[in-house]
Structure 1
Amino acid sequence: MKELLSPGHTACPACCDTMIAKFTLRALGEDCIIVSPTGCLEVTTSAFPTSSWQVPWIHSLFENAGAVASGIEAALKAMDKKEDTKVVVLAGDGGTLDIGMRSISGAFERGHDIVYICIDNEAYMNTGVQRSGATPFNATTTTSPSGKVSFGNPLPKKNMPAIMAAHGSPYVATTTLAYPKDLMKKVKKAADIEGPTYIHAHAPCTTGWGFDTAKTVEIGKLAVQTALWPMYEMENGEITSVKKIKKPKPVEDYLRMQRRFKHLFTMEGGAEEIEKIQAIADYNIKHFGLQ
């Protein structure tokens, strides 16, 4: 298979962004146009005058990937050249859940035939690991640091898949780089469906989360196995499939491997905070029927 994301980019070893981009392109093939807003993926794959992209690719601003993708899709239709070409956004959580929310909302409201993939590494990694709407509860970031009066981020992770399902998207799914076959299957399914579809991909980040580069896939699998990252599909607003977990692992197994949660194991009261995170996993098991 021809790799449509060339080696030689400047991403970190085992970079979550480039892994998801590579799997996405394997699922789509060459007949696609990629839109990437500002972020790690854009910076590391397109340093002037080079590019790692072997398909048409356009860089948008942080806040307007949804609008740019809408314009490309509308232009292809106007020129009667769309055929099977799929317009796909590959954006980070900051450019999706926060800065780009208006843009993606408008694109889905208008019903553009695009696939929007959020590469969720749970913070603004490219600009210094600042908190985003996707940052999990109690994770430490540079703008939500743990310390004497804080256990880190005090807010819950924004439920973006539910928000997109509420926009009337015919297909919404969650996945992770740790299960590439699942990711590629869902990307292909999303691309085959007419209308605006959304995929939220979990993306463990070695730099921002603080773990050895060799552990990227292991961390991703633990997120699923502890039920902190439920994997499911929604069609027309209804959950149609979930990845079952026979024996969920304790969230402590996942948290302990990451520097961003290290304070929970050293600070007074940390055990109680871990129990709160376990409650989130327990809720996911019940709500999504993971067992």
Structure 2
Amino acid sequence: MSSVFGIILTVICVFGGYLWAGGKMEIILHSLPYEMMIIGGAALGAFACGNDMHTIKATGKDLMAVFKGPKWKQSDYTDLLCLMHELVRISRENPVEVEGHIENPEESALFQKYPRILESTSFVEMICDTIRSMLMNFDDVYQVEEMLDKQLEGMKEESLHGAHALQNMADALPALGIVAAVLGVIKTMASIDKPPEILGGMIGGALVGTFLGVFLAYSLVGPMANKVKAIREQEHFFYALIREVLVSSLHKNETQICIEVARRSAPKHQRPSFLEMEQALKDLKNVAA
């Protein structure tokens, strides 16, 4: 919602200030379709040329995330901690039972309690693969910690591809605006025999290209790239909770302590309180009973 408000506020202030100063919108509206076609088309073409299809699709999802916000909400953090609590508890009490959950999570009654988590394939694979390694007596804490750190780093870098692509586009837009302006000047020079009032309008139209390039770069695309980066980095904390729980478990801490360590590493504005987490775990026990 804040992104929509920011875009509306930017447009109102920029064009409102221009009109208040005595500017006329006719020249901008007349040149806008042509300049936008040149600048937008060149930007999209360069974007498609410089990125693979996976990054292009990911960027489309990133743009949707700018307006929808992070995927994981506070309730998802509580669900994840509850899921990890049960997996750690079962793996200690009955390793054979936990194998049934991690070998086929799609059909696991435990995973099915948390459909939003289950639909994230890479996320579920990370949980299952690590617990599977622990069941195979791969219990060197530092090796597991290093393995998880590398996996999380790779996931984070991949999630930021869209933000990097958008930032590259933002960096290129001012130069593309100059390209559009130069083309407008070329067109103006070809009509040098026209009266000054006509030439003035043509030069003004050419400068719309420079304006659009700078405006799109610093008021829209650049801020969107920053927002995408912030969202993906925030979501990374969600995945890092797995590391905190499993590494703490390998240190032979009590299951409740493992969950508390992970809870405290969650972002403050999405972190469930101690009492909320305690109540959620009590509810789990009541359902199981």
- Please indicate the TM-score interval, normalised by the length of the shorter structure: under 0.3
- Kindly name which structure, 1 or 2, has the bigger radius of gyration based on alpha carbons: 2
Q: Which has the higher helix share?
A: 2
TM-score (norm 1): 0.25
Q: Which has the higher contact order (CA 8 A, sep 6+)?
A: 2
